[in-house]
Structure 1
Amino acid sequence: MSIDADSRAIVVFDGVCVLCSGWVRFLLRRDRDARYRFAAMQTGRGRDLLLLHGLDPDDPVSFLLVDEGRAWSDTDAIFRVVAGLGGPWRLVRLLTLIPRPWRDRAYRRLARNRYRWFGRHEACVLVQPGHEERFLV
């Protein structure tokens, strides 16, 4: 199946960020329906998606989710991804009661400091066996 024909949502993440790579591992363990595919921002596909949606791939301070022909960023994207895991994870939507400017300000602070606080890999983390088809390059 080609990438364009695959209707699963795409999560664009920072492939060298320790926190971001942990986030992807968290999703892989809990996404039993394989709803999400992943594109590191360091790959051609990841860069293209960031640019297409108005985000700077060389200075990303935002998380991007592309799903059903629409794009979400920052906390809206995070909450949508987690709620998409189903079950009790849907309760994360309650956090949208917090005003978006407050949540996004906190998220952007975390994003700007992610390397300092959590560390950085020398190269993109290798794909885990059994999940190769879920990663776009």
Structure 2
Amino acid sequence: MKTPAAWKGGNERIVFFDGVCNLCNGTVSWLIARDKKKILRFAPLQSERGRALPLPEGKDSSIVFYRNGFLYYKSTAVLKILSALGFPWNLAAICFAFPIFLRDFIYDWIAKNRYLWFGRTDSCSIPSPQVADRFLE
């Protein structure tokens, strides 16, 4: 999905995530540890910029990826993020061979159960000073 004109920002790569989800916060920590070139930036979906995202109607998403003026959702977002990390994580792109309805079915199943399986916090976590510059808000 194309982003609003006000979002034009070059080659910025932003991972929007559910800031109260323990799985999502753990995933962000995992990404930060593997993003050696520090190309990814992060913002909770609960942030001002996250709330302004044009989400597909009737679809909840726990992760959204912004790159080159486009927004990617669900399994496509996950695969695009892994591809941005480079080798060996970009090998996950082979999963694009699977139909999106199948990839998103698995994504939706995990997303639907993420709070039950991994828990949630009452508010978005605050990044440590070592990685605070990687977060937009």
Q: Is the 8 A contact 2:83 2:92 kept in 1?
A: yes
CA distance in 2, matches of 1:129, 1:84: 24
Q: Percent of counterpart pairs with the same letter? A: 36
Equivalent residues in 2 for 1:18-97 (5 A)? 18-49=22-53, 52-54=54-56, 60-97=60-97
Change (3 A) 1:119 1:62: closer
Tell me the TM-score normalised to structure 2 length: 0.86
Q: Is the 8 A contact 1:65 1:73 kept in 2?
A: yes
Q: Which residue of 1 aligns with 2:105?
A: 105
CA distance in 2, matches of 1:104, 1:27: 21
Tell me how large the CA RMSD over aligned residues is.
2.0
Structure 1 residue 7, shift from structure 2 partner? 3.6
| Segment drifting more, 78-87 vs 3-12 | 3-12
Q: Which residue of 1 aligns with 2:3?
A: none
Q: Is the 8 A contact 2:20 2:124 kept in 1?
A: yes
The one-letter amino acid paired with 1:66 is: Y
Tell me the TM-score normalised to structure 1 length: 0.86
The one-letter amino acid paired with 2:56 is: G
Q: Secondary structure at the match of 1:39?
A: strand
Q: Is the 8 A contact 2:9 2:68 kept in 1?
A: no
Equivalent residues in 2 for 1:123-134 (5 A)? 123-134=123-134
Q: Is the 8 A contact 1:38 1:134 kept in 2?
A: yes
Q: Is the 8 A contact 1:53 1:71 kept in 2?
A: no
Unaligned runs of 5+ in 2: 1-6
Unaligned runs of 5+ in 1: none
| Length, aligned pairs only | 131
